Structure 1
Amino acid sequence: MKRVKQTACVLLWSTGALAFLFCLGSLHLFASGLDRLTRDLQLDTAPEASLVYDRHGNLVFSFASEDRTNVPLDRVSPAMISAVLAAEDRNFFRHAGMDVVGLARAAWVDLKAQAVKQGGSTITQQLIRNVLLSPDRNLERKVKEALLALRVERRFKKEEILEAYLNRIYFGSGHYGIEAAARGYFGKAAAALTVSESAMLAGIIPCPSVCSPRISPNVAKTRRDIVLEAMRKGGVIAAEAYTEAASATLALAPERHDPYTTPHHESVAHHSDGATGLYFLEAVRRQVMDQFGVADVLEGGLRIYTTLDMTLQEYAEEAVATRLSQIDRSRRLQGALVAIDPRTGEVLALVGGRDFHTSPFNRAMQAKRQPGSAFKPLLFAAAIEQGYTPSSLVTGIDVPIQTRQGAWLPSGEHEAASYTLRQALTVSSNRAAVRVMQMVGITTTQTYARRLGIRSPLPAVPSLALGTGEVTLLDLTSAYGAFANGGVIAPHTLITHIADRSGAIIWQSSIEGRPHRAIREGTAYLMSSMLADVMNRGTGAHARSEGFRRPAAGKTGTTDDYAD
């Protein structure tokens, strides 16, 4: 009997020891998992919109999977910080991650109401839940949340935690983070929020789906007043400030619509409805996604600084819309426009069609069309580079050219027996142009076209002189820029530089494409002079008859049956 008792005692102690060791092992694994989570935690890894700026540094658009723009804490209104602390965690700067007093108070409120009326989670716990844990309501998650909060508070400063929280929290209506919410609801930066606006945003945090002022303005107002009362009781604001903020009306900014999905008419395309420059922005989006990938563009918080001049862009869109309405009532014709600074190659304005939503195909950059007589300046520049001058005489223009298909003589409306180069370009003589290319050579013509920035392949046929080779409007405009820039061509670009979310520059256009000499300075001067004659008394003189008086040089161009 004594031996049985001894055996039972040994078994009992052994079982207890094993259970104790098992519990210790489980706790060790649990703690190790928490330590690993805390060690690997990064507070600033939330998806962030990539912001697009115009040439003057004004924010004009963003590319994002979530509407979120991170800002440092010193760029958040003090009123907003006070409102969040009053509403969500009044003891934030005094506790170590868990607020025992706040937890007890919430439990007492819930007990009296016999329902869950008030949460006891601190800002740190809410951040942990948002970053590391699932939203499931169970004991395991609550324990992990509390223990992780204690670890996070030891690793990060209070200001870092609060900054991460404000940049991550959801404020309803698709706005993530305080900066996106401030701009989305009030059309201003987070630094400029008033007491009343701050209280309203803080009141949204517990119930963003139903407390948004765009969905439930009355609920949002009630929530705002609750936060204001908490701020007054906590001594954050004086009685006068409370009264003023509580009596303020909810003045929301117009709701922003995605211009990519919001149709608009060309008659109002230049208005501030978020629809300006969509062809330009789409081209920028394609470029940065090709360079950095979809994830970095939509979630990486890139800062994309473009060459876009919004004022010129508005004028460009209005000009295209006005001209199309004058010549085409069927609304089937399309138009395109490119404006480039020839000194830098920076594209200042770009219109790729009548309406982006009807047809997003970019006719300024993607369409390859025959330029017609607009190609002739490139040919004549090649001739001057080969030693000819504007006064060189072009003869024999009525002699047919022998081709594989037989003798060929181009038709033309402005033909004489002979012309100087200047005269031939002024009247846009087709036969003289073909004769000039005979003098220069097809290969030489192609070579100079490439030097002037034409990237598409050009056919080695006599009709190339008449612009039968297909080019993009952007390339052709860039080529003309060499005439205005002393023979130097600056590769065209839509973006000056790109920075990461910390502000470090990670790409610059000046590194990838540098200006280079395409033709001699004297050639560029002579070509500009000849093209000025085209505008003053040649095929472009109609612009003068319409009242245009500024110095200008240019060339008209059409294709057969005026298709272009």
Structure 2
Amino acid sequence: MKKNIEEKKVRGENMTTKDRTVYYLNVFFKVLSKLALVVIVTAVLGGSLVLGLGSGYFLGLVEDMPIPTDTELASAVSNAGEISTMQYSDGSEISSIRADLVRVNTTLDNVSPYIVNGLVATEDENFFEHEGVVPSAIIRAATSTFLGVGGSSGGSTITQQLIKQKLLTNEVSFDRKAKEILLALRLENHYSKEQILQGYLNESPYGRNNKGENIAGIETAAQGIFGVSAKDVTLAQAAFLVGIPQNPYTYTPFLQSGELKESDYLTDGVTRSHEVLQRMRLTNMITEEEYQTAINYDITQDFISPASTEDVPEERNSYIYQAVELQTIEILMEQMVEADGLTMADVDANVDLYNQYYAEADSQMRNGGLTIKATVDPEIYETMNTTVQEYAASFGTTYYSETTDEATGETVEVVEPVQNGTVLLDNDTGQILGFVGGIDFDMSQVDHALSVRRQPGSSMKPILTYGPALQEQIAGPNTMLADTYMRVEQADGTIYEPTNFGTSLSNGFVTARYALSNSMNNPTLYLYNEMLKQGVDIQSYAYKMGLQDAIASDEFGHIALSLGGTSTGPTVLENAAAFATFANGGVYVEPYLVETITDSNGNVVYQHQAHKERVFDEDVAYVIADVLRDATSAGSMAIYKAQMDADLDWIMKTGTTENFRDLWANGSTPTVTLTSWIGYDNTTQERDLYSQDENAVYGTPAQRSLRYWTTLGNRLDYYYPNTMGSGEIHEQPDSVHEETVVTATGTKAGSFSGPYGTTYTIPSTAATNTELFTAAMEPAEAHFDFAIDGKVDEYVSVLETYRSKTNSSVNTTVQGVLQAYRLRLAETEARRQELAETNIEEDG
């Protein structure tokens, strides 16, 4: 029966209650058989009665304890927690991870015999003879506990101590002790004495090293206290190390700061080392002469000097180290939460629960011996960060101010330079190939690429307005949009009077292509408002492109959102990923930083799984991309067009927020997206990038932003042409077709009726141009109200050339309409001048 139970256990099968009872009884009697004294005591105390009670009590303590799997047992002698490392995409190391507990595992053949002999002599002199437990020691400890006589002793062997450290808690109870005995016996059945010793030496805590770090494992301790390997220690050093685990933070010679303790506080550790030496002498592990030499040696002279702050790896003081660390914690948290049958929403709603999972994930990351591979290319990362350092001084004025430290009450200086966040994203995979978190990590640890949220300005126009409008067949690039004065009373009662950049209005109509490529505001607002009136779910488009945290659900009903008017805004990474949707044929690819996480045995703990979602039809994405090609030659970008590498097929969109507080540049080739933001952190007060004096020194805000973006794009293309998509073009799908439209109306030629009994005929000889159309759209038939949000008098003015002149009464009416239109134009121009004088928002 016992053999069958063991076979079930080896095969990992579930055991019945009967099987479990037999298994534990076998173990119980095995413990009793270890010492004849126990049998004698049993007979004296009542024979079978006591034996029955004892076995019953024993079973009661352990009946609910699952029998450990072979894997769980293996973890007791191997895989001691150790330092984790993070790597670049090519496998080169970014840095080891700053750990709460620093540990480097070693093998027994790399440990000095002095250490092994000292450990056995001090902790478990019968280690090589017993089978995991010493029943006499257990009886002695139990007697002491029940009767309250004798010294306190746990009666634990090295095997039991290892079990307690790895598989059990520090709880003091008969229940834990019973489990400890069972597991120790099972461990000894599966592993050699050498494997158990190795596991113990790698697991044991040793206080602090000369950097003030918490350390564990004999190799880490030897290096961190004496500066030598565990295989090279002297007898005196070995005795000191062996003594530490009994009371690590009392016996360690170093403080939390890494400084050496004062001499009075070193005596405890020295005294403990003398006890170890004495035990080694009494068990004949060392000779009398060796003992005398070691005990008279001043071990304190061997302690290494405290480490300076310069010894901390420089790579840890970087944006990439910080970002990979945070991303890894999030990944591990999500795994733990899912394993417990919860969701992150459940955890986010409970602060205590969130903190618990965060702490567990943080501990696993730091002490789990993990290898975390990031997506970042080390050379691209270096190129990007070197470039921003070259250009940072030309971004604008650095301000200096003072503030009060709330914790200390002291006045501290605040340095506020123009900051930058930049991301280079692989369109197809979502990999972050490189990024710039800020201009100087030592100055500010705030990650402006992956964490900071800013208003996006006009960079949102294709994402929130023109893309959805084309997908919903509301407007194509040929569609005419009103570019006229707008006055809207908002929900809070304030009046919204937007205008285009430079407060200019054409007071007519422009095509959607022209409006987007030149980043015009009022046409965009009219188009966005038309989508709202038609019930388009703009929020669904935004959220499919990863903007859930960037825009609140109640903001989509505000037309100012089409110009980037949101209280939160995206990170640079989120903006880049959303924009890349057009280069990806309408598919949004979720961006990511961590590729894989593996444990110390090479087992994959985490492998990124791509998340892709179709947002726009392929032809819709291409047509918008084609319009955004025009943006590389329009507006502020026009002067940099000639400087852009001709072998890169860029599509672009810039963005500027109110009063030039944020400057954005979004650009995609067929393979990558490069997104940049510059602006002030506005730590102590609101600051912007515009002043006449600054413009004279640094150039306009747009010039500063685009000069940097263009240089960075060219430099990346020079060094990494394959990555950047050199020579590739955005491929036009077969479903995109070209049609001829009347330039003035964006429609076909033809005859139609107008108001007041008028008729119009646009002849085939009228000025035309060609435009791209998706499979779902064709040019509209000629009609009077050919534009979005046009007024009657505006249509009349545009179509006057094509109006039939045969009816005099109609002519009189039309002339009146035209006269009214001219008066309204004059009023609009006057209002425009007024707006210019009050310096209303300029959004590019």
CA deviation map 1:513-537 (0-9, x unaligned):
2354645352364155234335xx6
Aligned mates of 2:604, 2:223 — CA distance in 1: 28
For 1:85, the aligned partner's letter is V
Change (3 A) 1:207 1:255: farther
Q: For residues 154 and 412 of structure 1, what CA distance do their matches in structure 2 show? A: 80
Instruction: Answer whether contact 1:184 1:256 (CA < 8 A) is retained.
Output: no
Moved more, 476-485 or 78-87: 78-87
Q: TM-score scaled by structure 1?
A: 0.63
Q: Counterpart in 1 of 2:501?
A: 412
Instruction: Select which of 373, 390, 393 maps to 2:458.
Output: 373
Deviation of the 1:466 alpha carbon:
1.6
| One-letter amino acid matched to 1:434 | L
Cα distance change of structure 1 residues 319 and 510 upon mapping to structure 2, 3 Å threshold: same
TM-superposed deviation, 1:313: 6.0
Residue of structure 2 equivalent to 1:181: 220
Q: Is the 8 A contact 2:421 2:435 kept in 1?
A: yes
Supply the AA of the counterpart residue of 2:201: L
Taking the TM superposition and a 5 Å limit, the aligned residue runs for 1:386-397 are 386=473, 392=478, 396-397=482-483
Measure how far apart 1:410 and its partner are: 1.8
What are the Cα deviations for residues 350-372 of structure 1, in whole angstroms up to 9, with x where unaligned? Answer: 67779999998876566654311
Instruction: Tell me if structure 2 keeps the 8 A contact 1:370–1:471.
Output: yes
Match of 2:728 in 1: none
AA in 2 matched with 1:522: Y
Structure 2 counterpart SS, 1:195: coil
Two-structure CA RMSD over aligned residues (Å):
6.1
Aligned counterpart for 2:361 among listed residues 291, 297, 308: 297
Query: What CA distance in whole angstroms lies between the structure 2 residues aligned with 1:410 and 1:49?
Result: 60
130, 153, 166: which one aligns with 2:188 = 153
> Using a 3 Å threshold, how does the CA distance of structure 1 residues 550 and 123 change in structure 2: closer, same or farther?
farther
Q: Secondary structure at the match of 2:459?
A: helix
Task: Kindly state the Cα deviation for residue 478 of structure 1 after the two structures are TM-superposed.
Answer: 0.9
Find 1:433's aligned residue among 519, 524, 532. Answer: 524
| C-alpha distance in structure 1 between counterparts of 2:253 and 2:522, whole Å | 70
- C-alpha displacement of 1:83: 5.6
> Would the alpha carbon gap of residues 336 and 423 (structure 1) be closer, same or farther in structure 2, given more than 3 Å must change?
same
Between the two proteins, what is the percent identity of the paired residues?
22
What is the correspondence of 1:303-314 to structure 2 with a 5 Å cutoff? 303=370, 305=372, 307=374, 309=376, 311=378
Q: Which residue of 2 aligns with 1:53?
A: 86
Q: Equivalent residue for 1:465?
A: 562
Per-residue CA deviation, residues 220-247 of structure 1 (Å, 9 max, x unaligned), is 99999999xx9xx99xxxxxxxxxxx9x
User: How far did residue 96 of structure 1 move?
Assistant: 3.0
Deviations 1:360-393 (A, max 9, x none): 8876566654311121232344466559776x48
Structure 1 residue ranges without an equivalent (≥5): 1-15, 104-115, 235-245, 260-268
Counterpart of 2:629 (choices 529, 536, 540) is: 529
DSSP-derived class of the 1:428 partner: coil
Q: Is 1:343 aligned to residue 414 of structure 2?
A: no
Q: CA separation in 2, counterparts of 1:517 and 1:563?
A: 30
**Alpha carbons of structure 1 residues 23 and 251: separation in structure 2 relative to 1, 3 Å:** same
The CA deviation at 1:437 is: 4.2
The code of the aligned residue for 1:337 comes to G
Shift of 1:479: 1.0
Aligned to 1:243: none
Distance 2:632 2:111 in 1: 60
1:490 is aligned to 589
Q: Cα deviation per residue 1:187-230 (whole Å; 9 max; x = unaligned)?
A: x9x9x976359968667556643554645599799999999xx9
Aligned partner (choices 324, 329, 338) of residue 285 of structure 1: 329
Q: Cα offset for 1:170?
A: 0.4
Take 1:52 and 1:483, find their aligned partners in 2: how far apart are those partners? 36
Residues 377, 329 of structure 1: alpha-carbon distance in 2 compared, 3 angstrom cutoff: farther
Is the 8 Å Cα contact of residues 462 and 624 (structure 2) preserved in structure 1?
Answer: no
Report the Cα distance in structure 2 between the residues aligned to 1:193 and 1:490, rounded to whole angstroms: 50
CA distance in 2, matches of 1:355, 1:183: 37
Asked if the contact 1:500/1:506 (under 8 Å) is kept, the reply is yes
Match of 1:560 in 2: 658
Quick one: distance in 2 between partners of 1:421 and 1:492? 30
SS in structure 1 of the partner of residue 632 of structure 2? helix
More displaced, 324-333 or 464-473?
Answer: 324-333
Q: SS at 2:207's partner residue?
A: coil
Q: Residues 58-101 of structure 1: CA distance to partner in whole angstroms, max 9, x if unpaired? A: 4746587x526685xxx63732375642432388984335899x
Change over 3 Å in CA distance of 1:362–1:21 after alignment to 2:
same
Task: Determine the C-alpha separation between the residues in 1 that align with 2:626 and 2:215.
Answer: 58
Distance 2:437 2:561 in 1: 25
For the residue of structure 1 that corresponds to 2:205, the secondary structure is: coil
User: Are the structure 2 counterparts of residues 530 and 270 from structure 1 closer, same or farther at C-alpha, using a change threshold of 3 Å?
Assistant: farther
Computing the radius of gyration from Cα coordinates, the structure with the larger value is 2
Question: In the alignment, what sits opposite 1:88?
Answer: 119
Determine the C-alpha separation between the residues in 2 that align with 1:396 and 1:183: 77
| SS of residue in 2 equivalent to 1:171 | strand
Distance 1:448 1:61 in 2: 41
Counterpart of 2:400 in structure 1: which amino acid? R
Tell me, yes or no, if the aligned pair for 1:374 and 1:557 is still in contact at 8 Å: yes
C-alpha contact (below 8 Å) 1:50/1:304 kept by paired residues: no
- Distance in 1, matches of 2:436 and 2:430, equals 17
CA contact (8 A) 2:85 2:96 kept: yes
- Mapped contact 2:375–2:433 kept (Cα < 8 A): yes
Tell me the amino acid that sits aligned with residue 410 of structure 1. Answer: T
| 1:262-285 Cα shifts (integer Å, max 9, x gaps) | xxxxxxx97544775435533542
Matched residue of 1:555: which SS?
strand
Alpha-carbon distance in 2 for matches of 1:532, 1:448: 25
Indicate which of 197, 200, 209 corresponds to 1:162.
197
Tell whether the 8 Å contact from 1:67 to 1:175 is kept in structure 2 after alignment: yes
How far the C-alpha of 1:152 sits from its partner, in A, is: 4.7
Whole-angstrom distance in 2 between the partners of 1:451 and 1:143 = 55
Q: Which residue pairs with 2:575 in the alignment?
A: 476
The structure-2 alpha-carbon separation of the partners of 1:95 and 1:59, relative to structure 1 and needing over 3 Å to count, comes to farther
1:209 aligns with 2:249: yes
Count of aligned pairs:
498
| Change in CA separation of 1:501 and 1:523 when aligned onto 2, cut-off 3 Å | farther
- Does structure 1 retain, via aligned residues, the 8 Å contact 2:85–2:372? yes
Residue 329 (1) aligns with residue 400 (2):
yes
State the 1:297 CA deviation: 1.7
Name the structure 2 match of 1:3: none
Match in the other structure for 1:265 = none
- 1:402-435 Cα distance to aligned partner (Å, 9 max, x none): 6456894524217463656565445433234335
1:169 to partner: Cα distance: 0.4
- Which residue identity lines up with residue 124 of structure 1 in the other structure? T
Secondary structure of the residue aligned to 2:609 is helix
**Structure 1 position 288, deviation (Å):** 3.3
RCO (CA 8 Å, sep 6+): is it higher in 1 or 2?
A: 1
- Distance in 2, matches of 1:84 and 1:253, equals 24
1:90-109 matches, cutoff 5 A: 94-97=128-131
Counterpart contact for 2:88–2:374, Cα < 8 Å: yes
The whole-number CA distance in structure 2 between the counterparts of 1:408 and 1:143 is: 79
Task: Name the structure 1 match of 2:23.
Answer: none
Residue 454, structure 1, aligned to residue 583, structure 2? no
Contact 1:313 1:349 in 2 (8 A): yes
Residue 85 to residue 310, structure 1, CA distance change in 2 (3 Å): farther
CA pair 479-151 structure 1, distance change in 2 beyond 3 A: closer
Superposed CA deviations along residues 291-341 of structure 1, whole A, max 9, x for unmatched, are 424265245548474535384667559948946885443447585625233
Contact 1:307-1:348 at 8 Å conserved across structures: no
| Residues 298 and 557 of structure 1, relative CA distance in 2, 3 Å threshold | closer
CA distance 1:373–1:211, shift in 2 (3 Å): same
Distance between the aligned counterparts of 2:627 and 2:114, measured in 1?
A: 66
Structure 2 CA distance for partners of 1:179 and 1:548, relative to 1, 3 Å: farther
Hey, what does 2:109 align to over in structure 1?
A: 78
Offset from partner CA, 1:102-131 (integer Å, 9 cap, x none): x9xxxxxxxxxxxx9xxx986435435646
